[in-house]
Structures are given as structure tokens and as C-alpha cells.
Amino acid sequence: MFNDNVPYKIYLSEEELPKQWYNVRADMKNKPAPLLDPETMKPIRAERLSSVFCEELVKQELDDTTPYFDIPEPILDFYKMYRPAPLTRAYFLEKKLGTPAKIYYKFEGNNTSGSHKLNSAIAQAYYAKMQGLRGVTTETGAGQWGTALAMACSYFDLDCKVYMVKCSYEQKPFRREVMKVYGASVTPSPSMETAVGRKINEQFPGTGGSLGCAISEAVEAATSMEGYRYVLGSVLNQVLLHQTVIGLESKAAMDKYGIKPDIIIGCAGGGSNLGGLISPFMGEKLRGEADYRFIAVEPESCPSLTRGKYAYDYCDTGAVCPLQKMYTLGSGFMPAATHAGGLRYHGMSSLLSQLYDDKLMEAVSVKQTEVFAAAELFARVEGTLPAPESSHAIKVAIDEALKCKETGEEKTIFFGLTGTGYFDMMSYEKFHNGVMKDYAPTDAEIAEALAKLPKVE
Amino acid sequence: MFNDNVPYKIYLSEEELPKQWYNVRADMKNKPAPLLDPETMKPIRAERLSSVFCEELVKQELDDTTPYFDIPEPILDFYKMYRPAPLTRAYFLEKKLGTPAKIYYKFEGNNTSGSHKLNSAIAQAYYAKMQGLRGVTTETGAGQWGTALAMACSYFDLDCKVYMVKCSYEQKPFRREVMKVYGASVTPSPSMETAVGRKINEQFPGTGGSLGCAISEAVEAATSMEGYRYVLGSVLNQVLLHQTVIGLESKAAMDKYGIKPDIIIGCAGGGSNLGGLISPFMGEKLRGEADYRFIAVEPESCPSLTRGKYAYDYCDTGAVCPLQKMYTLGSGFMPAATHAGGLRYHGMSSLLSQLYDDKLMEAVSVKQTEVFAAAELFARVEGTLPAPESSHAIKVAIDEALKCKETGEEKTIFFGLTGTGYFDMMSYEKFHNGVMKDYAPTDAEIAEALAKLPKVE
């Protein structure tokens, strides 16, 4: 059943692994809009950013002209622990669907943190270590990012302080314990350790917390402790840069076997996986060397690209972080409590927002029950149990493959499979038991959140 | 830091994967003792076994002369879904320990079932399908075997009926849900579906069940339903045969780079992983072509090799399965409720028992708190979070590496890493919180269980 001279899984040798990250901004005619300082509403200066973020990371964040950044040797060493991620030809899925399409996916879940987040976590930990810092702080919701950062900090012997949304801390103890195995301190947020945490606890006694609150606590902790900085797992340019290792590896594997995708699909929350996946291919498109269709898949419950507005907005609810121009539902938008926690973010990376606004990328939104049905089908035929976030891409890849079945076209479809669903079994249970619901915000809800966007000249 | 011209991970290409399983019994002078019929206490006939097990599997079970069995093409196809498992040079661990030893491990957890169990599950499902059966039944404790079997049955569209020890069913819902994703029916045992289940429920109202009881229910279900057979995940010769894919792949990867292990270490519960890991190397030793030290690692709480007796015993508490000659603590022995559920079995595969009795293999037992300390060290430096079972091998590999540090010897140590600890985070939590205890049975407890061994002439 394995034809076409393409192995079921393509592994690159260590020598073939990417040695540089690719900065797609260098090839963009319309650059992502600059970050704004929340105090002055003017483009933020590097010095201001450096009080919150590591210096090298600030440089990467602001550099929109350098096309390639060397990956430092210690990061390359660490990547060897779990990379290359195999590029897999979904022969079993194709057969099940009876499609003439050729389907490929890049699985990023074969590491203990279970997702692609580790690609940037190790880079951010490295630069923190090089700067001589004692540690870093961050927030985490369901825990994928926190777990990845804990692993990375453990490797470089850095202190890692994670503020975990309290309801997740209590209801999802598994990832919390993985973080502890890696020596991270995990604090349920809102806590009594920070001024902002105490304030929120006072205002809302017994609250389960929110990502916005956890960000504010992590930033306060980083800026109030000597030798600490704050790190973030998505949305930022630097994160997308590190994640290009996904797309570069995929492209190297494809080039080796003469594979050229027609459609490239990724799930989109803050945009870190999608940006990393598509960047090298988008670069070719921007330079006029090749053409591809790119599809961002977002949950119907949090449709920033498909129903949001392209405007400057706060990245966090506390409004302590710089403002970004992005497709946003408004920083006050509260998405429904769906089972793809990693996609519940009100905005989209400014880089991807610009590409989308320039019509270089498409976007669709999908219902979560359909996503879980696709996930289960995929798990049964391809073996890998996918995370709900990743399954958004599966759903649309299947849709496109079924269109090929109708038309008879032999398109090559490529999607990013960001992680495993090991820690999401309770969501699968709800799906099974038929108690999972779909949610879409009303136009009025979105309009209300958008009405509170900050005024920027 | 990666020297010696050996990559951090060695992946075989698809062409280099084993095409046959190796039957080490063919090279053993002293063959494992025959299975006995529990009714007659005489060597069991194939026809009797075939009422419980699939026909091809019965042949494999009883064949101690054929050295190689071809792996059927559909199983080879399925293996490609998650194999080759990488052979990893533990550079990071060596550095951390400061040992001159070279450490390698074979990680079998890179599949959704999370362990090596899938290697045999897919083979057993295949033979059941070839026989035209409707489905198979089995028991599962913590759920590794049940999960693997559910995946395998889903692939061949076979019905899969799992009796899961009731307390695990309730306390460990994650694996239960993975099985359901793969379409298996999971019944808490003791159930009211079988005569033996109803009887036990009557005798012990509210009982949490036991593996012995679940086996009895699964066997009853298989033999009372048309078109069903019972399958087992360890202990049997057929299972060890399928698991030799682990050792054969390891050996192929080592031969490719001229690596020759001095010591080969595996954890030992029923013996499926250990047998599969060491078989090809043991074959060389038996044929006088090479020499290796083999070390079986068992938990101090369930020390069948190190403190048991080599005698005929029942494989299950209900005494419905054939008797095996094996190192046993007595089928009535109740091991303490430790966190390595996969190693809580009263006996050891008869094949490994014979090798151990012939002094071809060593055995040690280790304390669980030391095992978790080794697991945590390993997770931090090598990235992979190991299952508690697998960590028994890690513990002894580290001990041997530290001996090399003392003596300055550059030994090559190789161990099997059977699975991930994703579903064992509550055990890690107990370790962290300092509430994990060590357990060793008293001499009197073991003597009491051994006194009830069946009388065999």
C-alpha cells in the first residue's frame, strides 16, 4: 500500500536538519505593523521592551529585514533530543477517505511536552541563560507552553516560574505535575504573590482565574524580581521565527523526495505553529518562486481572522504588554469554554494578520464537534491521538481531500499536527458521551468587545 | 558534545526494519518447560489451547525449534506507523553522570498506546482477523495493554472487549477513554456480564477487582461467545516472539555503527519487553558467537526472579489458564499497590525463567522511590518522561554507569525504555510530595503464597 516511492515517514538525518531560522518578514513587502508602547501609544523602543523580555529576543522581535538567524549550537543539540519530527505520508487516511489527494503531515508531538511549543521554549531559555539571568516567568492555561518551558529551563538550569490559570491548575493536574518533574514552580493564578493577583482575588473572591490575569502576574513577577524576564509562547514575531524549524524541516524533507504541496493547512490560535509551518513556503510565494494555498483554521468559538477586525489591540487583558496591530475580537472578548484551550486567544499574530490582510493566506473556522469527529477518525487510521487544537487542521485537510475525491484532482495537501491529545481525554469523553456542544459568538457579542478597542491614531 | 561518530538517535530506514521475528527457543539447549493442562496436569495439546487462543498463535506458542517467523506484510505496514523506534545514545545522561560508560536506550513509547505492547497487539489482532474471528477479549490493569489492543483491533476492524480492573477503571479514566476512542468496549471488572464476575460481586460486594479476576472474565467471555478468542499481553512465548522486533531493530542499528553492548538491561514484569529486547543478543550468546551480561530488573515489591521459586504455577488467580513452569511468588501472592502496575505479576515468562535458571541472565530488584528518583533525573536530562515500569531499567543502567565512573571502565550499557509516563503523573506527584513508600514482602508472606503452589508430578 505504500507506493509513489515515498516512505511512510520521512526522517531527515542530523546533518540535514535546519541550522538557521527563517525570518519571513524580510521578504514581506508590507511589514507587520510595529508594537506600540501602552503608555505613549507610539512604536515601542528596544530599551523599554528589554525590561520585560531578553535582549536577544527583543532584537529578533524587532528585526524585519534579516532573512536568516543562525540557530545557536546548544539549541541545535537540544533539538536533536526530539527532532527531526517525521514528515508522514498519510497513506492510511488517504485509503480510508478513498481520495486521490496525497496527504502529508508534520507531527510535532513526539516530545514529553507533547507539542511544538518546545521549539521556541528552548530558544527563549537559551537566550535568558546567555544573558546571565536567574530565571524566567510565564503564564500557562491548559499547560502545553508551561510544560515546554519547564523542560527547557531544566536543561539550562534556569529557574522557571509558571502562573497557571487556577481552574486548570485544579482540574488538569497532569500537566502541572509534568512541570514539577522538570523543577518548575507552578502557582495557581490569581495568587496572593503579586499586587495584581491580590487585587483580583479581592475583587472576585473564589475566581478560577484567566489567561489575561496570569499574564499580568507573570509580567509583574518578572519585572519585580532581580535577574528575571518574562517569556511568551505564541503571538510574538520571535516565537514564529523559532517555530520556522517546523516548516524548514518539512520543506527539506519534501525537497528530498520532490514533493510540492498545493495546499498548506495549520491550526491558528496565537499563530506560532501556523507561522512556523508556512514561513518557508510563504517566502517562496512572496519572492515569486512558487505558489501555494495557505489555510489558517480557527475555532468557530474564537474566530479572530474570520470575524475579527484588523486593528491595534492589547495582547493581554491587563494591558501591561505592548499593543499589536492584529486581527482581533477585542482583548475583552471572552471565548466559550471549548476544548481547544490553545486556540482560545482573542487576537492573531501581527505577522500572520498582515499576510491575511494582504490576501496571501485564507482562513476558515470550524465547529468543535466536527473537529473531534475528524480527530477520532484520524486516530483510528493513522495511530496518533491528536490534540484538539491540532485536529482543527485535520478537519480541514479531510475536507479538502474529500473535495479532491469529488473532482478527481490529485492535489497534495500538507498540514501541521502540533501535538498529542494525551492530556485531553476528558474532552474526548465528552465527545463520546454526546454532551459536547458547539459555540459561536453572536454578532452583538463581537461588536461589544470590538467597541472597546483602544483608540490609536 | 556528540562525539564517537554515533548520532544522538539512530533511525533505521524502512528497508532496514526486521522482516522476521526471532524465536530464541530454537537456540536454547534447555527448552522452556511445556504448558500444562489445568484439568489433567499433563502437557497441553494444541486443540485444547485453540479453544482459547487463535490457531496461528497456538502454533507460535508451542514451536520451540523454528528460529525465524516471517512477519506478515499487513503487520509490517502497521509497524511503519510508529517504527522504527529510535536507538538513542544517552549523551545527555552520560554527561550528567560524568561516566566514561556509553549508554544507549531503545524507546518504545512513541505511539499512542505509549508502550511496546503494540508490537504484539497488532500481531495478535492480525492472526485473529486471518482466522475470520469477530473479535477478541482481554483484561487490563492500568490499561497499557488494553490501549494497545484497542488500537490494533480498530486497525483490523475487529471487536475488542476489554475487562478493566474496576478500581483502575474508576481512578484512571484517561486510558479508558483512549480505548474508547479506538472503539473498544471497556467493562469494569468484576462485572455482572459473566458467571465468574457475578460470583465475585456476590462474594465481595463493592470490590475494586483484580487482574486475576479480569483474566477469568475475559477467558469466560471469549469461550462463551461465537467467533471470539482471548488474547494476552505478556508472559506467553508468542508475545515474547513478537516483541523481538525491539531487540532485532536495536541490533541492526548497533551493527550499522559497530556498537557492541557489554550489559543489556530491561525491566521485568511478565517478561514481554525483556524477552523481546534480549532475544537476538541471547541467541548470539547461546550459539557462542558473542557474550553479554543480561540484567532483569524487577520491583522489590514483586520479586519473582530474585525471591520466587522455579516451579509450575497457575498464570491466573482463577486457574482457568494453563500452568507454566516459571519463577513465581505463587498465584495467590498479592503484591503491594505500587506505582508500576505493569510489573505487579506473580510469575515470570517460562522462557526467561529457564534462561535465568541456566544462569544465562542475572536479576536484581529495586525500590520504587529510587526508581522514581532515577526517572526524574532521566526526564530532566534526556527529555523523555518515562513510565514507572521502564524506569526500573533506567535505575540499574545508572547504577552500572556509576560503577564505571568508579572503575574508569568505558563499558557500553544498553537498556530498554518501554514507555511514557504520561498517564502516571499522579504517581510522580506522590513521589514529589514525599508520600511514596517502599514495600518489600516479608519472607513469611512469600512462604505462605508459595505453600499453595499446585502439586505437579
Coil, helix or strand for A297? strand
Mean pLDDT of the A368-396 span: 96
Residues on A contacting B at a C-beta cutoff of 8 Å: 1-2, 7-9, 11, 13-14, 77, 80-82, 92, 110-112, 114, 151, 154-155, 173-174, 177-178, 180-183, 376, 379-385, 420, 422-423, 425-426, 428-429, 432
Q: Cα distance from A78 to chain B (closest Cα, Å)? A: 9
| pLDDT tens digit sequence for A127-166 | 999 999 999 999 998 799 999 999 999 999 999 999 998 9
- Tell me the chain B residues in contact with residue A9 when contact means C-beta distances shorter than 8 Å: 80
- The pLDDT score that the predictor gives to residue B315 is 86
By CA distance, what is A381's nearest residue in B? B155
Q: What is the percentage of chain A residues whose pLDDT exceeds 90?
A: 81
Q: Cα distance from B117 to chain A (closest Cα, Å)? A: 14
Which three cell numbers mark B211? 487482574
- The pLDDT score that the predictor gives to residue A320 is 78
| pLDDT tens digit sequence for A17-51 | 999 999 999 999 999 999 999 899 999 999 999 99
Cα–Cα distance between B63 and B215 in angstroms, integer?
Answer: 24
Range in A254-268, B312-326, B392-406 with the lowest mean pLDDT:
B312-326
Cα–Cα distance between B209 and B188 in angstroms, integer?
Answer: 8
- The pLDDT score that the predictor gives to residue A208 is 84
Residue type, A326: M
Buried-exposed string A417-450: b where 16+ CB fall within 10 A, e elsewhere: bbbbbbbbbebbbbbeeeebeeebbeeebbeebb
| pLDDT tens digit sequence for B103-157 | 999 999 989 899 999 999 999 999 999 999 999 999 998 799 999 999 999 999 9
- The pLDDT score that the predictor gives to residue A365 is 98
- Tell me the chain B residues in contact with residue A110 when contact means C-beta distances shorter than 8 Å: 110
- The pLDDT score that the predictor gives to residue B222 is 95
- The pLDDT score that the predictor gives to residue B391 is 97
Q: Residue B1: pLDDT above 60? A: no
Q: Residue A3: pLDDT above 70? A: no
- Tell me the chain B residues in contact with residue A174 when contact means C-beta distances shorter than 8 Å: 422, 425-426
The bridge status of strand B68-70 relative to strand B20-22 is: antiparallel
Strand partners, A413: A103, A263
For residue A332, how many other CB atoms are within 10 A of its CB?
A: 16
- Residue of A13, A16, A382, A385 to mutate, testing the B interface (most B Cβ within 10 Å of its Cβ): A385
| pLDDT tens digit sequence for A9-19 | 888 988 899 99
Mean pLDDT of the A385-411 span: 97
- The pLDDT score that the predictor gives to residue A422 is 87
Buried-exposed string B62-80: b where 16+ CB fall within 10 A, e elsewhere: bbbeeeebebeebbbbbbb
Range in A316-320, B185-189, B200-204 with the lowest mean pLDDT:
A316-320
Q: Smallest Cβ distance to A385: which of B112, B383, B420? A: B112
Strand partners, B364: B297
Coil, helix or strand for A87? strand
- The pLDDT score that the predictor gives to residue B339 is 83
- Interface contact A1-B77, CB threshold 8 A: yes
By CA distance, what is B184's nearest residue in A? A380
| pLDDT tens digit sequence for B380-438 | 999 999 999 999 999 999 999 999 999 999 999 999 999 999 889 989 999 989 999 99
Q: Cα distance from B198 to chain A (closest Cα, Å)? A: 27
Report the mean per-residue pLDDT for chain A.
94
- Residue of A380, A381, A428, A433 to mutate, testing the B interface (most B Cβ within 10 Å of its Cβ): A380
> Are B303 and B368 a contacting pair, CB within 8 Å?
no
- Tell me the chain B residues in contact with residue A77 when contact means C-beta distances shorter than 8 Å: 1-2
Q: At B457, is the pLDDT very low, low, confident or very high (cuts 50, 70, 90)?
A: confident
- The pLDDT score that the predictor gives to residue A2 is 60
By CA distance, what is B419's nearest residue in A? A112
- The pLDDT score that the predictor gives to residue B3 is 61
Q: Residue A444: pLDDT above 80? A: yes
- ipTM of predicted complex: 0.90
Which three cell numbers mark B331? 498465584
- Interface contact B383-A111, CB threshold 8 A: yes
- Interface contact B80-A9, CB threshold 8 A: yes
> Are A283 and A27 a contacting pair, CB within 8 Å?
yes
* CA-based end-to-end distance of chain B: 60
- Tell me the chain A residues in contact with residue B14 when contact means C-beta distances shorter than 8 Å: 7-8
- The pLDDT score that the predictor gives to residue B307 is 98
- The pLDDT score that the predictor gives to residue A1 is 57
Global confidence as pTM: 0.93
- The pLDDT score that the predictor gives to residue B163 is 96
- Residue of B13, B80, B170 to mutate, testing the A interface (most A Cβ within 10 Å of its Cβ): B80
| pLDDT tens digit sequence for B81-118 | 999 888 999 999 999 999 999 999 999 998 989 999 99
- Residue of A11, A92, A181 to mutate, testing the B interface (most B Cβ within 10 Å of its Cβ): A181
Chain A with chain B: Cβ pairs closer than 8 A: 112
Q: How far is CA B285 from CA B277, B290, B293, B355, in A?
A: 14, 5, 10, 11
Coil, helix or strand for B138? strand
Q: Smallest Cβ distance to A182: which of B13, B180, B379? A: B379
Mean pLDDT of the B220-243 span: 95
- The pLDDT score that the predictor gives to residue A168 is 84
